[in-house]
Chain A
Amino acid sequence: MTLRYPFSAIAGQDELLQALLLTAVDPLIGGLLAFGDRGTGKSTAVRALAALLPEIRATSCAYHCDPDSPSAQCDACRKSATHKLRKLPIPVVDLPLGATEDRVLGALNLERALSHGEKSFEPGLLAQANRGYLYVDEVNLLEDHIVDLLLDVAASGENVVERDGLSVRHPARIVLVGSGNPEEGELRPQLLDRFGLSVEVRTPTEVKTWVEIVKRRDAFERDPEGFSAQWAKQEDQTRRRIVKARKALNDVEVPDSVLERAAALCINLKTDGLRGQLTLMRAARALAAYEGAKRVTDDHLKRMAAASLRHRLRRNPLDETGSTTRITRAVAEVLGA
């Protein structure tokens, strides 16, 4: 019903915007965590992304399964030979803080149960978000049991519901996007690791940037239609660029030498597990695709190192050095300044 603020009109948050675009180019990067001050446009950016995403082809079931990939379909779609197809925008679903397990997982459809005496499953937010984004604002304040559940689903790509006499499983391939203010609570390392990229969002310190943001925001709120029309061209360009990058992604070459340097970087930083290295490689490749390069270079690695790795460093509570500084140092050591 309401128009969303155009993505291209967001000023002063380049790292965040870039990271978001890359998750759209390659969903396998695995989501994004944006931590930083309030009122810096985190939520605006995520919600604005929705309007930029290309449409997907989907079956008509509640989980909008992918007709081309039987292994990622729900049981009903897999069994039926023909599908009624439709085109859908990639879903971007908000997970509100107070959401209950029932709302997230799906639950017994009370309405049907009460008025018709039928046992049926009412899909939850995870079903809605299948093949798209699940956005959690204030992710660090989310209750633990919901966090556990999201972790499980994000890792397996499947939602398994065994409750109220229901036994349902359905695909839930979601890109998890979280935002929050770290001063209000930390995130558990397990959850941190599930996010592909992480971005530190800061308040701009330049008056010029502030003025630009404030003016645009004000113009948008006074005349959403007119403002969106002004930016329609840029939006269109970005959208086309994403589609093009998605197509090009598989043809972008990742030389072994680059992979080796990515590994060396991760070893130097002592990141836990392989997920960091994998993400770094994917993010660098998505960046190369987005910029129209044929091959991933050290430069792509360098630019994606901080976003891919900063949330995976072991923290020493008594060490004051920021993660970003440590990464810059390691990048200089491994890749040369």
Chain B
Amino acid sequence: MSEAALACALLALDPTGLKGAVLKGDAAAFLSALKQLSGRTCHRVPPHIGIDRLAGAIDVAATLKSGAPVHDHGLLAEARGLLLLTSAERLPLDRAALIAAAMDHGAPFTVIAHDEGIDDEHAPMILIERVAFLLDVSTYEPLDIDIGAARALLPSVVIPDRITEGLCQTALALGLSSIRPAVMALRAARAAAALDGRLAVDDDDAGLAARLVLAPRAVTYPAVEDEPEQPAPQDQPDPGDTEDGAPTPQDLADRLLDAVKASLPEGLLAALERNLRQPASRSGAGAVSQKAGLRRGRPAGTRQGEPKNGARLSLIDTLRAAAPWQPLRRRSNPVRKGLQVEKPDFRIRRFKEKRETTAIFAVDASGSAALHRMAEAKGAVELLLADCYVRRDRTALIAFRGKQAELLLPPTRSLQRAKKSLADLPGGGGTPLAAGIEQSMLVADQVRRAGGVPLIVFLTDGKANIARDGTADRAAALRDAEAAARALRIAGVRTLMIDLSDTRTGPARRLAEAMGADYLPLPHADATKISARVNAAMQA
């Protein structure tokens, strides 16, 4: 039986208690099953939904037409069934925050976020945090199940204390920092018992809840080969034996951890990796700034449009636009008194705003100089971030070494996060320059899609020796690197090449030309110098 199908049944059983789910993969079958099982209607919420439509506002056009105020109460106040967020990874943070606030205040809807993100794009954390399940539904198989009887049972299902304790211990052992999932796990266990026709939660229910709710959020992971005596890496308080012969919460936690382990044999590392790189608010800041053209910055004239979603009506210009039409409108609508303003007259203000820049450091971590170089790059990132509160810019760091490039620090504004991610840096090995260039292009592309301006900073001597396919072939490596560099030029991303070699005519210079980068020879680069140069480039 597929876990997704079980999750679907649990969600249909307790839609308001479990609050919802984040879905990955093709969700059509899951959704239709959920709709059918829960008997709830479904509102589709696209990521570009207007704030007014969500939170409610006065409907200007309708108000004008009828001559009396017309209010739109907004989806969040009206929605009762399933709230389906399509392309949830693109949902701007301000919208997500409104939805989260409504959930906190006990709104009766169930949030189903369909996350179609790739790489480390994901639905907004504030929503992930508030729903019970994170599911991959591409393997969903329908389950023939009737939840009518279970629904009647659910309110009377009880949870023994030792199961509550076991679930909490499991959550702690998995390194969860938020308590919400533990509460959700309790509910999921209760729903599982009801589904099975029981009035008391048993260990299997707890196991299911641990697998469905806690496992996908695991941050640390007890090693699979661990001896059973030592299930969790952290020291745990004395479990306190129970006398009645039932397994202690500690035993239960061990078994739950085993269940969690067994449930995620593959794809686990990838999932953990995602969790460990605790996502920042990627979908947030950027997506907001796309809209910002109508909300903030220096005034830059007006244009036709409706005053909603934060766009501001320019009264004078609206009146000016309406003025020439007055005789005509009076003739066609003689009953109405006063100025006749219609929808096409609306003029809204436009603002010009400096967009946020993200400096993407791509650092050559190969060879013997790696340690020193990485330390300086890290220093430069931290110095830049310490400065960033002024401009609200962000930085990211990619290291390439051995056979591949790795995104060590996704775009962030947080000094604290940078320190954490860059605490110990790998170094040594070959120079897969092409991989480094490609990875930085990917990140730059993400930044752009989120509405920001990327700036790539390479710190390398340009001496590539690992080809794209991972073989140690110097000639092929250089060819691949140059091909990647040309692609970068076509993508039109601003690039700064800091050449760390002693000669100014080496391969780094040729690469800089191929990628159309600003070339900067800095053989003895240190953190302060680098950050000053990058700072200047960011503000240019």
Contacts and interface: CB of A to CB of B under 8 A. Distances in A.
Interface of A: 2, 37-41, 43, 47, 94, 96-98, 100-102, 108, 110-111, 113-115, 117, 137-138, 141, 143-145, 164-165, 182-189, 203, 205-208, 210-211, 213-215, 217-218, 221-222, 315, 317-318, 320
A182 B178 contact: no
B182 interface: yes
B179 A210 contact: yes
B interface SS class: helix
A182 B177 CA distance: 14
B278 A183 contact: yes
Given A39-B180, A207-B172, A210-B168, A114 B386 contact: no
A205 B383 CA distance: 33
Nearest to A98: B94
Contact of B58 (A2, A111, A211, A215): A111
Contacts of B389: 186-189
Interface stretch (B25-33, B280-288, B462-470, B512-520): B280-288
A210 B171 contact: yes
Interface string B331-350: 00000001101000000000
B413 A211 contact: no
Interface stretch (B36-44, B64-72, B203-211, B359-367): B64-72
A111 B69 CA distance: 6
Contacts of A205: 172, 234
Nearest to A44: B104
The residue among A37, A114, A214 with the most chain B CB atoms within 10 A of its own CB is A214
6 contacts: A114-B64, A143-B296, A183-B280, A186-B385, A188-B389, A203-B178
Contact of A182 (B64, B172, B296, B414): B414
Interface stretch (B267-275, B306-314, B430-438, B476-484): B306-314
Contacts of A206: 237
A138 B285 CA distance: 12
Nearest to B392: A144
A49 to B, nearest CB: 15
B417 interface: yes
Nearest to B169: A207
Contacts of B412: 183-185
Nearest to B92: A98
Contacts of A110: 58, 60, 63, 307, 313
Nearest to A205: B172
A213 B313 contact: no
B177 A39 contact: yes
Contacts of A100: 51, 295, 310
Contacts of B417: 182-184
B415 interface: yes
Contact of A96 (B97, B106, B382): B97
Given A38-B177, A138-B126, A2 B106 contact: yes
Contact of B129 (A39, A188, A215): A39
B137 interface: no
B413 A143 contact: no
Contacts of B280: 183-185
A43 B315 CA distance: 38
Contacts of B60: 110, 114
Contacts of B180: 38-39
Contact of A40 (B98, B178, B296, B420): B178
Contact of B288 (A114, A143, A222): A143
A98 B171 contact: no
- Interface pairs A-B: 5 shortest CB-CB: A39-B178, A98-B94, A97-B97, A317-B386, A210-B168
